[in-house]
Amino acid sequence: MRKILLIVLMLAVISVSYAQRTITGTVTDGDDDSPLPGVSIVIKGTTNGTITDVDGNYKLTAQEGDVILFSFIGYQTYEETVGSKSVIDVRMDLDISQLDEVVVVGYGTQEREDVTGAITSVNAETLTQIPTASFEQALSGRMSGVQVTQSSGAAGGGATVRIRGTGTLNNAEPLYVIDGVILGNVGASYTDVSPLAMINPNDIESVDVLKDASATAIYGARAANGVVIITTKRGDKGGINVTFSAEFSRNVIDESKFDRLSGPDWASAYIRARQLSYGDTVTISGSEFLNRAANGDYKTYDWFDYAMDNGQLANYNVSLSGGNANSQYFASVNYSDNSATILNSDFERYAVRFNSEHKFGKFKFGNTLNVSRTQANVVGNSDPTSNTNNSISWLLYTNPYKPIFDDSVTADGIKTYAGLEDFQAMYGDEGGILVDHQNNHIIWRLENYMDYRQSTRIIGSVFTEYEIFDGLSVRTELQGDINDSRTENRNYALDVLGTSERTRDISSLQFGTSENRNIFWINNLNYQKTFGVHQLSVLLGHQMQDTRYRSFSASQSGFDSFYPTIWEFGREPLWINPATGVTNQPGVGSTEYPIKWLSYFGRVTYEYDSKYLFTGTVRRDGSSKFGADNQYGTFYSGSVGWRFTEETFFQGIPVISNGKLRMGFGVSGSDNTGGGGYNGLFNYQQSFNSGVDFDYPFDNAIYGGTSIDRPANPTLKWEESKMFNVGLDLGFFNNRLEATLDYFDKTTQDLFFRIDPPLEGGFTSQVNVNVGDIQNKGFELGIRSTNVVSPVVWTTDFNMAIIRNKVNVINGQDKIEILPNTVIPGQAIGVFYGYQTDGLFQSWEEVYAHARQQQATTGEDLDGDGFNDYDTDSRDYTRYTSPGDVRFVDINEDGIIDEDDRVQLGDPNPDFTWGMTNTVSYKGISLSVFLQGVHGNDIWNGFGRGRMRFPQGGSNGSYASLEDRWSAENPGAANPRIHIEDPNGNFRGSDLHVEDGSYVRVKNVRLGYQLPSNVMEVIGASRMNIYGSITNLATFTNYSGYDPEIGINNLNQPWRQGIDGGTLPLTRTFTIGATLTF
């Protein structure tokens, strides 16, 4: 028996020895056959691997059937299956051409060389180079014709995305689709957490942007603003791969750009400003305090520095992928923690993903699933349009002598916030009031308020596909997007006494919940066949979408304690203050509305002899947002392509290795009505002593009533976007240099806008109407080149776009304006509107020789011109227009400066944008430098101009408020005289607010190193990459504000753009990270 076992063991050893053998070979460049050192070589699905030496040679132990992977930066990955040969030589080709890429085109894919529309793509490697909580920020500067503007530096904040300009007065964000599931037209303004932040950027395989109508028409009624298709990762055939990545970023704010006066400088400047404004003999309130402060006798406090600190972003990911010929899977877990540079602005994300695909005979089935939970505190997310939430302004304007805390400390060691009594004890009664001029303790608010937002979202799909016969398959897919959100606002009682005694002796609580359910059912019939030189693909589809949104909110302000830990009412839920008669009752509200879509679509692609291409698309959409006569819309496109380098007459031109001419026209639509659709709205109100007009008395009691809040508009119809596109794709020198050039002309008509209905009807809410059309046209250029190939690889990616925007018509209106932005026919959307200036008055003669601004008058109209005559003897500079004031231009020459003299002052839309990335790699080391630029746009610097106005009372100012100001001794100054009350209105909206917003930014510098395989063998891993990067390293601009990248406040008013009101600023970000694969 022992002999038999020994024989079996010997045979096993012999068989293993026979199976395991040494593979040797040489890896060379496929272009010039030069050896490639440092090529990573690994047995697929294992950690067994090596690298080539300086002569390109390698040695590896493998067995028959193993798959060897050869990979090297800048080259295409190569696979070789081990057979009977012991020597395997490999020639690796440069990864310089994008022609063999597969792009997602909506309900399917195409090879890029067959695409006839305008589609731009970004891969996973590019997306993850910039650390961000929300992936759309990483698209900035990467694609021609796609402008991405980060909204603010808020934690979890997003960006606004414009594809080929702004083409609507309503929501202008593109349509986002993830793994086939339509998310809608979403974005983020100043204070918002991005709805796209629920997607883990590390899960994304690629992002494809459909730009022209021939590409977007397949999405019909929601594609007028372009389409962003997100494809997440899938598993690969081969063994199991486990990847762990960790990334940590430190966000640093440059405080030097937020200059504020020191304490003594403020006091001296304030004394001088009072004298210049009211005369040398004026009695200055708090003069004793001011004189001592000017001498530096008091301690100062920096509120901005206290509230601002370095932020951070930490990202941790674990993924598992693998599969075989019939089944593949991908799973991941992610945690992200992001804190901004201001108090009480933070964001967290927990995300889990599982994707799979399986094949069983003629059946194919699979799923996608993403479950995420995000939570954020947004108290610190500064909103420049809100008086109470404009944290940045409050911090900068707070008096430098105003202490944050008083000297007392509670028994548990907690400091108490300083109030008016503390200020007066320090500086006297008048000095204390002067210091607390603003009457707002912004630090108290930042540290004690709560604005909490939580969202749990499930996005997923299940599908099955059956091959009826060769080339014909049918697919059915059920999709869901379920989003449950919760908000909670805690406003504690204000126990910090201010100058106006604006205390609030009760705390309040508000909370809300919302549910958004989207269910899709899609059925497709696909046919693909090749007949000799003919290739035909036909798609027929049907889609239903059922959306239901409901929300509930409640609020109460009847809490007794200042800082309640248990929120319970201290009074009856409904009570009346006996002193004032004011009621206090819980406020509740709810909303629910359904939206349904029904769609039929089809697409035909045809290719003849690899030369002539055609794509035709049609989609018919129906939506419950519109009335019966306009409920359905038909959207279509057609495009052709000609690969002229496949013609025989072109074969003799070796310089041009690829050439394709594209041309297309199409119509897509938009149903982004901004809420409400065509339908009317009834409002039911039940309140007591609320002042609402539809409360009714019956039987000595008050009862709520119902009113028609908004009339219906059955004539409302879809926005419609018509676009013509012609493009040229070229490849030179065996595609080492590739270029794409596009020209487009896009007109969007029947724009949605909300107007006030007739007051005679008693309506209180605006109604949706169609009002006009907007045109965008321009050029796009993309270049990709491989400059050096061996042993150093250097590649360059460049893109740029020139876009011109014009409002053609606004039905029934001269203009639409919410100053400083206006919409005027014949001009670009959102141009700045205000007063034109003509320098400063230098003498009293100039003051009285000019049109009426705020000059002194006699009170009589002796010359009969309709205006009171000037009092030319007056030299009252305290109350009237005087030398040193701004001279505004009398545009209509009617003798008075008024709103009829306002003109266009600037354009926030850029003339052109660009981005450029240079990547250099040598062996395992890679360096990437990414630049981006925006040029020709104007910015309305309301924040900076406002700080130049010398503050009233005790508010602090900037050094800019003192620089180059007019005086009798400085008549050539650029800025007007100092006057606290500004009787001339020097800081009204004028061209003095408008600055050039052009900039060039070093957006990202990244250095990475891939550890060699012999090191990986020691730790049992197959690959490890470590890296460091700096984002927003440097910005070159003439703009005087903190940052020329300005977001928008309201997604439904995209024309209100380019206004710098003082948002939470962007930061310079330092990042280190590592990725490890087993």
Q: What pLDDT was estimated at residue 469?
A: 93
**Residue 412 within any structural domain of the chain:** no
Q: What is the pLDDT of residues 585-640, one digit of tens each?
A: 667 888 888 999 999 999 999 999 999 999 999 999 999 989 888 999 999 999 99
Distance between first and last Cα of the chain: 42
Q: Between helices 287-294 and 420-435, what is the axis angle to 10°?
A: 90
Whether residue 478 has pLDDT greater than 80: yes
Mapped onto helix, strand or coil, the DSSP state of residue 121 is strand
- Cα–Cα distance between 193 and 177 in angstroms, integer? 19
Whether residue 460 has pLDDT greater than 90: yes
Q: What is the mean pLDDT of residues 1008-1026?
A: 82
Q: What is the mean pLDDT of residues 286-305?
A: 92
- Report how many domains make up the chain: 3
Phi, psi for residue 674 in degrees, rounded to 5: 80, 15
Which range marks the domain in which residue 863 is found? 831-906+957-989
646-681 burial code (b ≥16 CB/10 A, e <16): eeeeeeeeeeebbbbbbbbbbbbbbbbbbebbbbbb
Residue 971 sits in the same domain as residue 843: yes
- The type of residue at 652 is G
pTM of the model: 0.89
Whether residue 3 has pLDDT greater than 80: no
Residue 837 sits in the same domain as residue 901: yes
Cis peptide before 564 (omega within 30 of 0): no
Mapped onto helix, strand or coil, the DSSP state of residue 931 is strand
Whether residue 1048 has pLDDT greater than 60: yes
Is the CB of residue 194 less than 8 Å from the CB of residue 159?
A: yes
**Residue 868 within any structural domain of the chain:** yes
Q: What is the pLDDT of residues 103-155, one digit of tens each?
A: 889 899 888 888 999 999 998 888 888 888 888 989 999 999 999 998 888 88
Helix (H) or strand (E) holding 308: none
Kindly state the tokens that stand for 136.
């759309």
Phi, psi for residue 10 in degrees, rounded to 5: -65, -40
CB-based contacts of 591, cutoff 8 Å, min separation 6 = 549, 550, 551
Q: What pLDDT was estimated at residue 48?
A: 72
- The type of residue at 887 is R
User: Cβ of 382: how many Cβ atoms within 10 Å?
Assistant: 27
Question: Nearest-5° angle of CA 420, CA 421, CA 425?
Answer: 115
Q: What pLDDT was estimated at residue 514?
A: 93
User: Cβ of 262: how many Cβ atoms within 10 Å?
Assistant: 14
Q: What pLDDT was estimated at residue 13?
A: 41
Q: What pLDDT was estimated at residue 571?
A: 40
User: Cβ of 525: how many Cβ atoms within 10 Å?
Assistant: 15
Is the CB of residue 441 less than 8 Å from the CB of residue 394?
A: no
Q: What is the mean pLDDT of residues 886-909?
A: 95
Dmax over CA atoms of the chain, in Å, equals: 135
Is the CB of residue 552 less than 8 Å from the CB of residue 529?
A: no
Phi, psi for residue 159 in degrees, rounded to 5: -150, 160
- Cα–Cα distance between 512 and 590 in angstroms, integer? 9
Q: What is the mean pLDDT of residues 206-216?
A: 93
789 backbone φψ class: left, alpha, beta (φ>0; ψ -120 to 50): alpha
Helices (H), 295-441: 303-307, 391-397, 420-435
Residue 860 sits in the same domain as residue 899: yes
Kindly state the tokens that stand for 671.
């149903």
Q: pLDDT band at 286, cuts 50/70/90?
A: confident
CB-based contacts of 12, cutoff 8 Å, min separation 6 = none
Residue 1010 sits in the same domain as residue 1063: yes
Where a domain ends, among 92, 121, 153? 92
Q: What is the pLDDT of residues 31-44, one digit of tens each?
A: 777 788 778 888 87
Q: What pLDDT was estimated at residue 19?
A: 55
- Cα–Cα distance between 545 and 598 in angstroms, integer? 7
**Residue 323 within any structural domain of the chain:** no
* Distance, CA of 298 to chain centre: 44
Q: Where are the beta strands (DSSP E) in 955-1012?
A: 994-996, 999-1010
Q: What is the mean pLDDT of residues 45-57?
A: 77
Whether residue 556 has pLDDT greater than 80: no
Q: pLDDT band at 200, cuts 50/70/90?
A: very high
CB-based contacts of 67, cutoff 8 Å, min separation 6 = 43, 44, 45, 79, 80, 81, 82, 238
Phi, psi for residue 961 in degrees, rounded to 5: -70, -15
Residue 846 sits in the same domain as residue 872: yes
Whether residue 804 has pLDDT greater than 90: yes
**Residue 666 within any structural domain of the chain:** no
Residue 887 sits in the same domain as residue 1005: no
Residue 983 sits in the same domain as residue 1011: no
Is the CB of residue 537 less than 8 Å from the CB of residue 604?
A: yes
Question: Considering only 434-448, 789-803, 856-870, 1061-1075, which range has the smallest mean pLDDT?
Answer: 434-448
Q: What is the CA radius of gyration of the chain?
A: 34
Residue 864 sits in the same domain as residue 981: yes
- Cα–Cα distance between 589 and 387 in angstroms, integer? 25
Whether residue 723 has pLDDT greater than 90: yes
- Cα–Cα distance between 813 and 1005 in angstroms, integer? 49
Is the CB of residue 627 less than 8 Å from the CB of residue 678?
A: yes
Q: Which of the pair, 1048 or 698, is modelled with greater confidence?
A: 1048
Instruction: Let me know how long the chain is.
Output: 1078
Whether residue 485 has pLDDT greater than 60: yes
Where a domain ends, among 62, 92, 122? 92
Give the 3-state secondary structure of 680-742. CEEEEECCCCCCCCCCEEECCEEECEEEEEECCCCCCCCEEEEEEEEEEEEEECCCCEEEEEE
**Residue 558 within any structural domain of the chain:** no
Helices (H), 558-635: none
Whether residue 1017 has pLDDT greater than 80: no
Q: What is the mean pLDDT of residues 914-943?
A: 94
Q: What pLDDT was estimated at residue 529?
A: 94
- Cα–Cα distance between 463 and 179 in angstroms, integer? 12
**Residue 1008 within any structural domain of the chain:** yes
Share of the chain above pLDDT 90, in %: 51
Where a domain ends, among 31, 65, 92? 92
Hey, which of 109-113, 442-446, 829-833 has the most confident mean pLDDT? 829-833
Whether residue 271 has pLDDT greater than 50: yes
**Residue 35 within any structural domain of the chain:** yes
- Cα–Cα distance between 14 and 17 in angstroms, integer? 5
Q: What pLDDT was estimated at residue 570?
A: 41
- Cα–Cα distance between 903 and 511 in angstroms, integer? 45
Sole residue written with tokens 């014909």:
472
- Cα–Cα distance between 301 and 259 in angstroms, integer? 14
Q: What is the pLDDT of residues 15-32, one digit of tens each?
A: 444 457 788 999 988 777
107 backbone φψ class: left, alpha, beta (φ>0; ψ -120 to 50): left
Whether residue 12 has pLDDT greater than 50: no
Residue 961 sits in the same domain as residue 1052: no
Which of 695, 445, 495 is CA-nearest to residue 583? 695
Is the CB of residue 559 less than 8 Å from the CB of residue 507?
A: yes
Whether residue 562 has pLDDT greater than 50: no
Kindly state the tokens that stand for 675.
């809420």
Residue 12 sits in the same domain as residue 56: yes
DSSP string covering 13-81, please? HHHHHHHEEEEEEEEEETTT--B-TT-EEEETTSS-EEE--TTSEEEEEEETT-EEEEE-TTB--EEEE
Q: What is the CATH number of the domain that holds 48?
A: 2.60.40.10
Q: What is the mean pLDDT of residues 379-405?
A: 85
Hey, which of 111-125, 471-485, 939-953 has the most confident mean pLDDT? 471-485
Q: What is the mean pLDDT of residues 653-682?
A: 85
Whether residue 568 has pLDDT greater than 60: no
Kindly state the tokens that stand for 448.
């004690």
Share of the chain above pLDDT 70, in %: 88
- Cα–Cα distance between 303 and 395 in angstroms, integer? 6
Q: What pLDDT was estimated at residue 336?
A: 96
Whether residue 689 has pLDDT greater than 50: no
Q: pLDDT band at 693, cuts 50/70/90?
A: low
Q: What is the mean pLDDT of residues 990-998?
A: 96
693-715 burial code (b ≥16 CB/10 A, e <16): ebbeeeeeeeeeeebbbbebbee
Kindly state the tokens that stand for 812.
């029934």
Question: Considering only 91-105, 460-474, 900-914, which range has the smallest mean pLDDT?
Answer: 91-105
- Cα–Cα distance between 969 and 978 in angstroms, integer? 13
Kindly state the tokens that stand for 381.
């997310």
**Residue 206 within any structural domain of the chain:** no
- Cα–Cα distance between 590 and 588 in angstroms, integer? 7
Residue 961 sits in the same domain as residue 894: yes
322-345 burial code (b ≥16 CB/10 A, e <16): bbeeeebbbbbebebbbbbbbbbb
- Cα–Cα distance between 152 and 194 in angstroms, integer? 11
Phi, psi for residue 645 in degrees, rounded to 5: -75, -10
Which of 458, 197, 235, 245 is CA-nearest to residue 355? 235
Q: What is the pLDDT of residues 67-87, one digit of tens each?
A: 888 887 667 788 888 888 888
Helices (H), 248-389: 263-278, 287-294, 303-307
Residue 962 sits in the same domain as residue 1070: no
Mean pLDDT, the chain, rounded, equals: 86
Q: Which of the pair, 396 or 389, is modelled with greater confidence?
A: 396
Q: What is the pLDDT of residues 730-769, one digit of tens each?
A: 999 888 999 999 999 999 999 998 888 777 676 777 888 8
Hey, which of 34-48, 138-152, 191-205, 529-543 has the most confident mean pLDDT? 529-543
